[in-house]
Each structure stands twice: as C-alpha cells, then as structure tokens.
Chains A and B, each alone.
Chain A
Amino acid sequence: MIHQDANLVKNIFEKEKLEQTPTRNGYGLGMVRAGKENPNVVVLCADLTESTRSEYFQKEFPKRFIEMGVAEQNMAVVASGLAAAGKIPFISSYAVFSPGRNFEQIRTTIALNYQPVKIGGAHAGISVGPDGATHQALEDIALMRVLPNMTVLVPADAIETEKATFEAAKTQGPVYIRFARAATPVFTTKDTAFEIGKSYPVFEPKDKDKVDCAIIACGPLVYNAILAAKELEEEGLSIAVINNHTIKPMDEEHVIKAAKKAGAVVTVEEHQINGGMGSAVAEILAINFPVPMEFIGVQNRFGESGEPDELLEKFGMGASSIKEAVKKVIKRK
C-alpha cells in the first residue's frame, strides 16, 4: 500500500487520469523560483533553451540569462568563473553533452574548484525516444557520482524536480540534476517531503515488519516500481518501495535499514547498470549488510529510436521486468 506519510496523489493507480508532465518542466519552474529568491542565480544554456525549459527563466530574467551557443565545454568554465565572482549559475543542456562532452571542465573547474555551479542534464535516459542512441544519456549518473564534492539528484516527477532544482540553488558546492524529455505521471504533491540526501518510503506492506523485498528506485521509474509493487502485493508478496532521488550523498542509513528488513533488494533506474544508482546501493550494502540484489537498468548497451514506453519495455525497465527481478531476488534469499 502507498505509504501514508508520503503525501502522494490519491488516485495514483489510475495512470490514465494522472497529469503527465516531463520532469524538465520542473527544472524550468525551479530555476525561476530560485531566481526570484536569490538575485545571484543566473542561467546559461547551450542552444537548447526551449527543450531544457531554460526559457522560463529567460523570459522572467532576460538580463540574467546567458546564451552560450553550442559550446558545452565553455558553458562549464564560464559558469565556474561566474561562480568565482559570486553568482549561482545553472548550466543547461542535454546530459549527453553536459556532463558528457564537458566532463573534464566540470571535474577541474567546478568539482575540484568547489564552485556552486548547478548542472542540469536534460533528455537523460532511454525515454528520450525517437532521437535515438546519440541523444539518450545512460552514463551521466556514473560520470557525476564519481566526482568528489558533487551532489547528484534524480527526481521522480515534475513536482519533485522543481523542489530539487530550488534546493540545489541553496546547496553549497556543485550539484548535478538529471531530468527527462518524456511526459511522465505526476504522482507526488507539493506536500510530499523533499530533502537532499534523504530517501523516502513511498510504498510499504500492510505489515510493516514483514517485507519480502525492497525496491530502491530513482527518477520517473519510481512510478513503475510502485505499479510493480502493487501487483506483487496482489499476488501475496510484501514489498517496500523507496524513492531514492539523491544518488550522492546517498541516504545510507535508510538503504541499510531497508536491506536489513527485507533481506533482498532490487534497484531501478533508467541508466546503465554499471556505475549508476544501483551500483552505489551495492557499494553501501557490500560493506554494511550484503543481501541478494538485482539491478533494473540498461544492460551494457546503447539505446535506439522508438517511443518511450516501447523502449522501456524492450530494455527491461517496465513494471513486468521489475516484478520478475523481485521474484528472482526473493528466490536467492
């Protein structure tokens, strides 16, 4: 059942009736909110102003919007310079370009420099769809979480992305925020708690102390994990689902607690299984409380063109694949 304290939408299981909004809209709105609160917030964009929703900020604060042209490396270093002089820059592009193309500039001039630059990675995941493999970032979580000083956020819907973006502006140091192109269900509400570094239970068994498996998910796939958990519950299994939006610094305490209670964990993310959120969970559990794990994500291959749902199904990230992984991991207990 849905966790009572999560304040999610009431009709969460009526997928067709839920508002469908891309998480990138939340990024745009969050930057505007941050800009209203702090005059030092500036936004840079590399020729993708509409599709990254940086245009919301551009319209509100034209003098604080900086068009970089198709120059992601320069966008990173100019942002570092702006930050050195007191600004809080958001840099917007597709995740394959930023942090993909400009990784070294981010590493040296933002992360090692410890500058408060906020990196917005749009069109992350396979759900980018028709654009195909070149534009589907499946490696960005790994690239960013390996950097010291970097905070990494993968919010689950548009409302949570707005909160994450707003909070990122107030966080010291660099932050990476990952969001997606496709419209996905809005299932959190303005009352759903959000704090960087804290993961939240969104689904729990009727008997809280009897859990067969914990699903730890991030991004819009949290919704698929909830759907899978409900179906598994109907089949008689007791499932907990955690919205693990902060990949770094991860809520270790909650992850360990969940593993101890369930004795088996499935991670769910729209990213390569190598080096992503699931890997980070495995690192924590290997040291603290090893349990059998299964990883839902892209299995060491590139994406392709198609509609988001077709691709998620083909690449094994739909609710049915999550259910299979849960059953498999429970057998390994």
Chain B
Amino acid sequence: MIHLHDDKIKFLEETANQIRQDVIEMLVEAKSGHSAGPLGMADIFTALYFHILNHDPKNPMWEERDRLVLSNGHITPVRYAAMARAGYFPIEELKTLRKFGTRLQGHPERLRLPAVETTSGPLGSGLGQASGMALAAKMDNKKWRTYCLLSDGEHDTGNLWESVMFAGKYKLNNLTAIMDRNNIQIDGFTEDIMPLEPLRQKYESFNWHVLEIDGHNFEEIVGACEEAKAIFEKPTMIIAHTIPGKGVDFMERDFKWHGIPPNKEEAKKALHQLRTLDGKIKSEHE
C-alpha cells in the first residue's frame, strides 16, 4: 500500500473535481456525448496525468514518454479535460468538443491531437494496440511503459480476448491495463447484457497479474500502478471498481447516463454539487 502525502491527495482530489466540472461544461456545450464514463474515470485520469505518467505536456511527442492508449474512446472528454489541465493545450479549447473544425473530435483521432496515441471508439481494439506498442518497446529495449484504459463492456468483443492472450504470451510486463469496472453499458447492466464475471480469474488464467482497487481512491490507484512496474513476466490488469457518473448524485449508477449529455438545468445542478462538494461548502465559487 502506497501512502501519499495529505497535500498530494488534496491536490489530486481538487484537480479531479475541476476535471469533472470541465466534463459537465464540455458536454452541455456540445449537446451530445457520454456523461457517466468520463465522470467515473476522472480520478484515474487525474492520477495518471498528475502523478503516474512520465510525460511532458510541452513536448507531447517526446520519444521516451509513457504511452496512454484509451480503448473506449467515447469517454474521451475526461481525457481532453485532464490533458488541458495538465498543460497540453489551452483550457478554453475544451469548449470546442465535437464542434466543426475542432481538434477535440467526438471520438479521439491521432492525427488531430498530439499524444492521444491512437484513434479509438470502436470497442475492443485498444488493448491490442497497446500490446503492439509494449512489444515494440521491448524489442528496442525502451524504458517507457504503455498504459491502456478500457471499459468493462468492451469485454464482450472477441478482439479484446485475442489481445489478452497475446499480451500473456509475450509476457508484456511493461503494459499496465486499467479496466473501468462500472458495471454498465449502453443497453443496461453488464451482467444482464453478457455476463463478464469472474473477470479476475479470467485474466489470471490468461497469465496476467491482476489487482482490484477502488477506482476513486488515489492511494490505491497509484499503489496498483507502482506494483505493476515491479511485476516480471506478466502484464498487469488493474480492475478499477468505479461508480459511473461519480460526483453527480442523479447520474451515479444509472445506465441511462451512459450515452447522453446533461441539459442546461441538469448541468447547473451537477456543477453546483461539484462546486459545493455536495453541500459541504456553503460559498459556491462559480
């Protein structure tokens, strides 16, 4: 178990809260997009961009950077927000999400925005790409790691399991995958649509090192990523249990919020909750 300094945890929590507000503002402005996933993954993206990744926002394509592959491209607003807050591009650009001429496409595109690493959206293909990057790094004795964020729902696809076998075969210990285990997908709860459990045992039997964490606890997120670096001969899957819509009570755990944005009224309510930490702070800073 890793212990982070209290100031560090406070900083990460505040940053994640800010990123959640960014996501709400981006979605209401865009009038389309996904709400639940980005809010649920805000803590993990914050931990990655503000503590875990070896990267340089001012030199985004730095050759020795850690690669971060987002397989479930539909939650890209949270990545865009984290990148902007980390200094990759101006915060104001977030408002262009999904609009004509934007670099912030509805689903991320490699050729439009440096360091998104790949174009994604169609599910099930990110882990294989991350595996290819990790294998190339091994062939060339490079020190950088590859991180892959993926959803639970995309475990319905065959391509993903092909990649799970592949990464196990090639013992890609320079690959850390983090699964957003939020139990929802577009049509409903994952275990109703196409049961995925037992996920831990599935990955273990494919020769992966598996960790399960609370995806909203920074010490657990950072600790798991540190542990993964110390594993030899196996890739690591971190099953991060998250609450979809986390931080906005009327969105939490409701699959209806998977694929829709808030309207103006809902956004106002959501932002109020985030800015007052659910009523704990009386003076809201707009």
Residue ranges of A at the interface with B (Cβ–Cβ < 8 Å): 42, 63-64, 66, 68-69, 71, 73-74, 76-87, 89, 104-105, 108-109, 112-114
Contacts and interface: CB of A to CB of B under 8 A. Distances in A.
A78 B159 contact: no
B119 A81 contact: no
Contacts of A85: 67, 132-133, 136-137, 140, 142
- Which of B120, B121, B139 has most A Cβ within 10 Å? B139
A108 B121 contact: yes
14 contacts: A66-B135, A68-B166, A77-B128, A78-B129, A80-B118, A81-B129, A82-B132, A84-B117, A84-B136, A105-B125, A108-B121, A109-B119, A113-B119, A114-B110
A73 B162 contact: yes
Given A71-B166, A85-B137, A86-B136, A78 B119 contact: no
Nearest to B127: A77
B179 interface: no
Nearest to A83: B132
Interface in B103-142: 109-111, 117-122, 124-126, 128-137, 139-140, 142
B55 to A, nearest CB: 15
Contacts of B162: 69, 71, 73-74
B109 A112 contact: yes
Given A73-B159, A77-B128, 16 more contacts: A66-B135, A68-B166, A78-B129, A78-B163, A78-B166, A81-B128, A82-B132, A83-B132, A84-B129, A84-B136, A85-B136, A85-B137, A85-B140, A87-B139, A108-B119, A114-B110
A204 to B, nearest CB: 43
Contacts of B135: 66, 78, 81-82
B132 A113 contact: no
DSSP majority for the A interface? Answer: helix
B137 A77 contact: no
A74 B166 contact: yes
Contacts of A69: 162, 165-166
Contacts of A83: 132
A86 B117 contact: no
B198 interface: no
Contact of A82 (B124, B126, B133): B133
Contacts of B126: 77
Contacts of A87: 136, 139
A66 B117 CA distance: 22
B60 to A, nearest CB: 14
B118 A74 contact: no
A88 to B, nearest CB: 11
B140 A77 contact: no
B116 to A, nearest CB: 10
Contacts of B165: 69, 71
Given A63-B139, A86-B136, A108-B122, A73 B158 contact: yes
Contacts of B111: 113-114
Given A85-B137, A109-B118, A77 B129 contact: yes
Nearest to A86: B136
Nearest to B126: A77
Contact of A81 (B124, B136, B142, B158): B136
Nearest to A69: B165
B136 A77 contact: no
A108 B132 CA distance: 15
B122 A104 contact: yes
Contacts of A108: 119-122, 125
Nearest to B166: A74
A73 B125 contact: yes
A105 B119 CA distance: 11
B163 A74 contact: yes
B128 A112 contact: no
Contacts of A73: 124-125, 128, 158-159, 162
B63 to A, nearest CB: 9
Contacts of B133: 81-82, 84-85
Interface string B132-154: 11111101101000000000000
Interface string B38-68: 0000000000000000000000000000010
Nearest to A66: B135
A83 B67 CA distance: 13
A85 B135 CA distance: 9
Contact of A78 (B69, B122, B131, B142): B131
